[in-house]
Structure 1
Amino acid sequence: MLIWGWSRKIHQLAMLTLVCANCHNPSAHALRKAVTMFTLFFIPIIPLKTRHFLECTFCGAAYEVPKDNVHALIAQAYGADQRPGQPAQQHERH
């Protein structure tokens, strides 16, 4: 007897301040990645589907983001010279 199915994991990539298209409030939006995996005996084996979306923290509306725009949104959230997981760079004043 084989036990198979799928599971979904959601990873938060960044937080951005944007104006929501649904509620029209400037609020934080979470950029998230949802990965659906084929599982065999509860072990994730093959990724079936990956999608990226923005979710408004004010009203909860979610909008799918094309894969081409994800890197630009991450760069906007963390700055052009900073990557996720790295500490913010300190600039010295002279």
Structure 2
Amino acid sequence: MIIFGTRGYVYQLAMLTLVCGNCGNPSAHSLRKYVTKFTLFFVPLFPISTKYRTQCTFCGMEHQLPKEQAEGMLATAAAPQGNPAQQPHHHQG
């Protein structure tokens, strides 16, 4: 007897501050990756489906995104922000 099926995995990729398209609030949104994998004898072998979604932490509404848009948002979230403490200081004398 061969046992096979699928299993879903959820990966939290980032927390982003966005304006929600549903409630209109600027709030934190979780960017998640949902992967469905084919399993054989309960061992995940390869992904058969991958979806990206954001979820508003204020109202709970989820929006599905294309992979390219999700990767762009992730790159923006990972980019270093300008920190004034790390800027060189100039002394006038």
Tell me what 2:9 maps to.
9
> Is residue 2:58 matched to residue 1:62?
no
Instruction: State the one-letter code of the partner of 1:6.
Output: T
Q: Deviation digits for residues 60-89 of structure 1, max 9, x if unmatched?
A: 11101111112220122122x58xxxxx9x
| Percent identity for Structure 1 against Structure 2 | 49
| Segments of 4+ moved more than 4 angstroms | none
- Tell me the distance in 1 between the aligned counterparts of 2:4 and 2:46: 12
What count of residue pairs does the alignment treat as equivalent? Answer: 87
Unmatched 5+ residue regions in structure 2? none
* CA RMSD, 1 decimal: 1.9
Tell me what 2:86 maps to.
91
Using the size of structure 1 for normalisation, the TM-score is 0.82
Between structure 1 and structure 2, the one with the greater Rg is: 2
- Tell me the distance in 1 between the aligned counterparts of 2:42 and 2:7: 9
Using the size of structure 2 for normalisation, the TM-score is 0.83
Instruction: State the one-letter code of the partner of 1:10.
Output: V
- Tell me the distance in 2 between the aligned counterparts of 1:78 and 1:45: 29
- Tell me the distance in 2 between the aligned counterparts of 1:91 and 1:59: 37
